[in-house]
Amino acid sequence: MRKLVVTIDGPAGAGKTTVSRMLADRLGYIYIDTGALYRAVAHAVHLQAVDPEDDRSLEKLCAGLELNLVQIDGGLHLLSNGINITDQIRTPQISMLASAVSARPVVRRFLLKLQRDLGKDKGAVFEGRDMGTVVFPDAEIKFFLDATQKARAQRRYLELKSNNSQTREDVEKDMHKRDKNDSTRSLAPLKPADDATIIDSTTLSADEVVEEMLARIEEICGYQK
């Protein structure tokens, strides 16, 4: 089978990361977490105390930012100007800041080229929020993974529990705010692509979601599981 670009969009807590990694492994593809790139910009904004609504300052910040996704000890790590920030970008503060900076055109322009460069050789699974609608509108395979807000909040709470003092209710409140920000912004709002396959993961295991995705890929492209 020819190499494909597979996009998996959806809100936080829907299971995108787990499923994207598993699907990439099953296909023998590389996995790209594009949300981490926005978190990297947010991390730099936080460190440099830049106003996330000041486009001139954001443009200057992006011009001096070199981001690289690299495999280290079998895992995907994010380097920002040569520094591994993988473990520093998963805090609630950076999550909310990432949602804010992702609405700025200057940031999206900066990351658009980087993301498309990563996909030029295909054979990749891209996880994000606008992969199928904006970054790769011509991708051969598009998925939109969703779940109820309560299910997503519970998953995120359990994911963050070991190093976060937020209650499950706090996590759900933050998630609701981010969902609203991401889905109502004028630039590249969070929504399924017109030709995306929508999967509700509320009652499905990660394995079940991946099997459903593989069946869809087989249906469209003749991939044999």
What pTM did the predictor assign?
A: 0.84
**Residue 92's closest CA among 39, 52, 21?**
39
Structure confidence at residue 32 (pLDDT) = 92
DSSP code of residue 196 = P
Give every residue of the chain whose pLDDT is below 50, as ranges. Answer: none
Structure confidence at residue 223 (pLDDT) = 58
Tokens for 10, please give them.
């959806």
Strand partners, 84: 79
DSSP code of residue 225 = -
Calculate what percentage of the chain has a pLDDT beyond 70: 96
Gap between the Cα atoms of 62 and 68, Å rounded? 13
Tokens for 23, please give them.
């699907």
Structure confidence at residue 37 (pLDDT) = 95
Cβ proximity of 55 and 62 under 8 Å: no
Domains by residue range for the chain, with CATH: 5-215 (3.40.50.300)
Digit-coded pLDDT (tens) for 54-96: 999 999 999 999 999 888 887 789 999 999 999 999 888 998 8
Here the contacts of 160-163 (C-beta below 8 Å, separation 24 or greater) are 160/90, 160/92
Tokens for 73, please give them.
């000890």
Gap between the Cα atoms of 147 and 170, Å rounded? 18
Task: Tell me, rounded to whole angstroms, the distance of Cα 143 from its chain centroid.
Answer: 13
Phi/psi for 53 (5° steps) reads -110, 5
